[in-house]
Amino acid sequence: MRIVITGASGQLGSELRDLLQDNTEKECYFLDRKQLPLDQIQIIQEILAMYQPDLIIHAGAYTAVDKAEEDQVTANLVNHLACEEIAQYCRLHETKLIAISTDYVFDGTSAVALTEKAATSPINVYGQTKLAGEQAIQKWCPEAIIIRTSWVYSSYGKNFVKTMCRLMTERDEVNVINDQIGSPTYAHDLAVALLKIIDSSEWDAGIYHYSNEGEISWYDFAVAIRDFRSFNCQVKPIPTSAYPTPARRPKYSLLDKSKIKSVFGTEVPDWKISLGNMLAEEFKDN
């Protein structure tokens, strides 16, 4: 099987590379923004044709949530129109597609874990462009699998866990939001789940949710990071209103994972177990 992975230098792309680098059954091509510039939509299909993939894992995205508020054109190119080009390529060439989306397609007003059928209503540009990307994929490549995830972290790249580890070594006290609720996703776990789908005898198209098990706030997450690493740092809970950002965040975006577990037999580790596994790893810079 010949696989193209976009967003190769991102957290998920890097974890997939680690899992697939010694796999002799899969011929994998990891494309970063230099090899596949997602903001140059006019050349995307031409570049994909060079690789003639059997499957595309589209993990590339414009993920600078706050910057997207002012850079709406680029965010739309990367998160929406690039998805449209990739989906059109997949339809024309009968290529399978797995695309990664986000909990930010929801408005955060729910009080229960969100299923794939929950109404979408994004409250920031990032979420709006990601939802438009989902819709373009479903229009042009209805046989695609779309996986929404949340609060992604890894030993690779920039993320909340690595930022907290740095701050807690530099400061005696950190303030962390306690009224945004969801569940983190260890990118390694998501990568394992993707490979299980790829290797499954079934290909059941549609939208799926994946994050680690559990329901926490960012404050709870920070406290666990401190305790795992035994940092001597006080973590103070603050409301979202005390930390204004250009982009609004959903207050509640816990994802219901029942569907992906039922259809593909996916194992979903508890967030604390996965956090411990990640913190046992050596941090990587890319």
Cα–Cα distances in angstroms (integers) from residue 90 to residues 31, 44, 95, 206, in the given order = 17, 12, 4, 15
Q: Say which residues have a Cβ less than 8 Å from residue 46's Cβ, sequence separation at least 6.
A: none
For 168, phi then psi, to 5°, come to: -75, -15
Closest CA to 235 of 183, 145, 158, 165: 165
Residue 175, C-beta contacts closer than 8 angstroms, at least 6 positions apart: 236, 237, 238, 242, 243
For the annotated catalytic residues, the residue numbers are: 126
Count of CB atoms within 10 A of residue 245's CB? 12
For residue 149, which of 9, 8, 268 has the smallest C-alpha distance? 268
Q: Which of 60, 56, 8, 6 is nearest to 286 (CA)?
A: 8
